[in-house]
């Protein structure tokens, strides 16, 4: 236990040092929100992957590997495809336009792209962004509480509060620069942990032949790429849902703000390969950890939940304790790194929406950068507090939730609200503000509809549940943007 605490202290000390160093780089509001648009490709690639990973990769996706076996690799395929499209086909065009408009937030970009004259569109975009960012942050704080409870034996509520305090402190001091630098630090921990553990586990098992034999003995469906029962309608729906998680990379604000921060388009050309390789390696490794944990830690006929937790989400930490006990504390740090790297990014994103896109641009256009930075820090604290409250409320009301479910809801909300708008705004010259508003509002409303109402429909509800809320919400938002654009 002492070793765990020493590793965690070193990890947190590293974060605070980064925050302290980054605070000296903050000279204006552009520095605080997008690092002054001076970041190199390596930092941006690592930052975007660390932010996109979050708790759902180290806890949720590893758990999916334990539950579904090789069919969970469809998630890795879908998310990597999303990263390829965003970096190879969208990033340069977005960066060129954003620099032309001198944008430092996503609402900035959209307002300039549509030459919006009033304040309604900017306010709407900032509101939708803030709502789903708070939900997304709350899911990460929830995962922090679960992580400390599972790995350290802490009370859930104590763990959630500790994670909240830590991430607010270093984000508060250094803004986006602290976020980006800490993401490189934290992303490196995550990458090492995800790659080292499968290697150690395979070495412990003795080879791939032994792995497949044990998987077949535990549950033959673990070896079926379509899942239990083979090629059925329900399995196809589930796999479509797995693959379409990648839609969230096609314009989500927390990821595209990284393209705002990069120095120039030449850095994007270098960074795209780094980002794609990181995504592919991390996601394949995460699923593999779940599969190997199922092989090493469970027996045929044994209840999965009783051994590996709800949704298999305890598999990473239990496998690390089994296969790499000396580095067990490092894996606790890796899980926290996944969570913290997402929370800090989202908090800066949310504070930019409230302070710049609401307060400054709509009500106080002459407000100085110094005052705006100060206000942004205060808003960061307030929004983090709201997210903490939501996390604790959900923990109380939905004790059987999984980390994957909670995270994907916030992810889907941001993706459905913004990705169709970003795609159409980049590739359709005649796309208008009217179409953008229709698309954004439709995506915003459809996510809770398809999450909570459509899944209860008789006969077809199961398919909506398996496909999940992102794909249908995305499609409806895209259609709305096209239809209302013409009127």
CATH number for the domain spanning 375: value is: 1.20.1730.10
Q: CB neighbours (10 Å) of residue 404?
A: 26
Q: How many structural domains compose the chain?
A: 1
Q: For residues 221 and 446, is the Cβ–Cβ distance under 8 A? A: no
Q: Is residue 54 part of a domain?
A: yes
Range of the domain at 244: 2-381
Q: Is residue 484 part of a domain?
A: no
Residue by residue, pLDDT tens for the chain (487 residues) are 677 777 777 777 776 676 666 555 655 566 566 665 777 888 888 878 877 777 788 888 999 999 999 999 999 999 999 999 999 999 999 999 999 988 888 888 999 999 888 788 888 988 888 888 888 888 888 888 877 887 777 888 888 888 778 767 766 655 556 666 777 777 888 888 899 999 999 988 888 889 999 999 999 999 999 988 889 999 999 999 999 999 999 998 888 888 988 888 889 999 999 999 999 999 999 999 999 999 999 998 888 888 988 888 889 988 988 888 777 777 777 777 777 777 777 777 777 777 877 777 777 677 776 677 677 777 878 888 888 888 888 888 877 766 667 778 888 999 999 999 999 999 999 999 999 999 999 999 999 999 999 999 998 999 999 999 999 999 999 999 999 987 5
Q: Is residue 397 part of a domain?
A: no
Helical spans, DSSP H, in 102-155: 106-113, 120-152
User: Packing angle between helix 73-85 and helix 233-243, nearest 10 degrees?
Assistant: 40
Q: CB neighbours (10 Å) of residue 447?
A: 29
Q: CB neighbours (10 Å) of residue 411?
A: 26
Q: For residues 24 and 316, is the Cβ–Cβ distance under 8 A? A: no
Q: For residues 249 and 82, is the Cβ–Cβ distance under 8 A? A: yes
Q: For residues 255 and 28, is the Cβ–Cβ distance under 8 A? A: no
Beta partners for residue 115, in sequence order? none
Q: Is residue 136 part of a domain?
A: yes
Q: Is residue 434 part of a domain?
A: no
Q: CB neighbours (10 Å) of residue 210?
A: 12
Interacting residues of 186 by C-beta distance below 8 A, sequence separation 6+: 15, 50, 337, 338, 340, 341
Rg over CA atoms, the chain: 22
Q: Is residue 152 part of a domain?
A: yes
The position carrying tokens 């160093």 is 21
Residue 252, phi-psi category: left (phi > 0), alpha (psi -120 to 50), beta (remainder)? beta
Q: Please tell me the predicted confidence (pLDDT) of residue 31.
A: 59
Q: What is the pTM of this model?
A: 0.87
Q: Is residue 26 part of a domain?
A: yes
Distances (CA, A) of 82 to 54, 86, 363, 447: 16, 6, 37, 19
CA dist 448 and 465 (Å) reads 12
Q: Please tell me the predicted confidence (pLDDT) of residue 35.
A: 60
DSSP state of 449: I
CA dist 82 and 243 (Å) reads 9
Q: For residues 257 and 32, is the Cβ–Cβ distance under 8 A? A: no
Q: Is residue 206 part of a domain?
A: yes
Beta partners for residue 262, in sequence order? 39
CA dist 187 and 182 (Å) reads 8
- 325: tokens are 């006990």
- 201: tokens are 């586990």
CA dist 420 and 474 (Å) reads 7
């Amino acid at each position: 236990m002492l070793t765990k605490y020493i590793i965690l202290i070193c990890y947190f000390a590293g974060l605070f040092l980064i925050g302290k160093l980054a605070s000296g780089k903050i000279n204006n509001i552009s520095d605080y929100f997008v690092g002054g648009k001076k970041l190199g490709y390596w930092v941006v690639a690592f930052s975007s992957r660390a932010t996109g990973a979050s708790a759902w990769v180290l806890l949720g996706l590893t758990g999916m590997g334990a539950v579904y076996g090789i069919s969970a690799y469809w998630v890795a395929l879908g998310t990597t495809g999303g990263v390829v499209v965003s970096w190879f086909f969208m990033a340069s065009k977005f960066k060129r336009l954003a620099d032309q408009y001198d944008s430092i937030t996503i609402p900035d970009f959209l307002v300039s792209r549509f030459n919006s004259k009033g304040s309604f569109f900017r306010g709407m975009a900032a509101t939708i962004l803030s709502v789903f960012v708070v939900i997304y942050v709350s899911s990460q704080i929830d995962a922090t509480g679960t992580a400390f409870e599972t790995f350290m034996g802490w009370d859930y509520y104590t763990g959630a509060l500790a994670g909240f305090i830590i991430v607010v402190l270093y984000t508060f001091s250094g803004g986006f620069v602290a976020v980006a630098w800490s993401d490189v630090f934290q992303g490196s921990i995550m990458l090492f942990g995800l790659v080292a553990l499968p290697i150690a586990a395979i070495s412990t098992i003795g080879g791939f032949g032994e792995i497949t034999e044990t998987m077949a003995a535990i549950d033959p469906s673990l070896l079926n790429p379509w899942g239990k029962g083979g090629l059925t309608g329900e399995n196809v729906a589930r796999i479509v849902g797995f693959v379409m998680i990648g839609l969230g990379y096609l314009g989500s604000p927390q990821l595209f703000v990284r393209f705002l921060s990069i120095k120039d388009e030449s850095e994007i050309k270098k960074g795209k390969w780094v980002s794609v390789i990181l995504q592919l390696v991390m996601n394949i490794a995460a699923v593999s950890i779940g599969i190997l944990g199922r092989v090493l830690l469970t027996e045929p006929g044994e209840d999965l939940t009783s051994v590996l937790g709800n949704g298999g989400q305890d598999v990473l930490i239990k496998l690390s304790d089994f296969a790499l006990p000396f580095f067990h504390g490092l894996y606790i740090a890796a899980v926290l790194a996944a969570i913290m790297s997402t929370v800090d990014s989202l908090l800066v994103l949310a504070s930019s929406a409230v302070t710049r896109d609401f307060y400054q641009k709509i009500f106080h256009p002459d407000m100085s950068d110094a005052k705006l930075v100060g206000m942004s820090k205060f808003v960061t604290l307030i929004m983090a507090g709201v997210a903490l409250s939501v996390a604790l409320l959900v923990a109380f009301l939905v004790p059987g939730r999984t980390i994957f479910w909670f995270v994907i809801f916030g992810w889907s909300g941001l993706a459905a609200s913004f990705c169709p708008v970003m795609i159409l705004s980049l590739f359709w010259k005649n796309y208008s503000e009217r179409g953008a508003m229709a698309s954004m509002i439709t995506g915003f409303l459809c996510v809770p509809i398809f999450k909570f109402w459509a899944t209860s429909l008789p006969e077809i509800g199961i398919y909506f549940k398996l496909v999940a809320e992102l794909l249908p919400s995305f499609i409806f938002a895209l259609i709305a943007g096209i239809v209302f654009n013409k009127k």
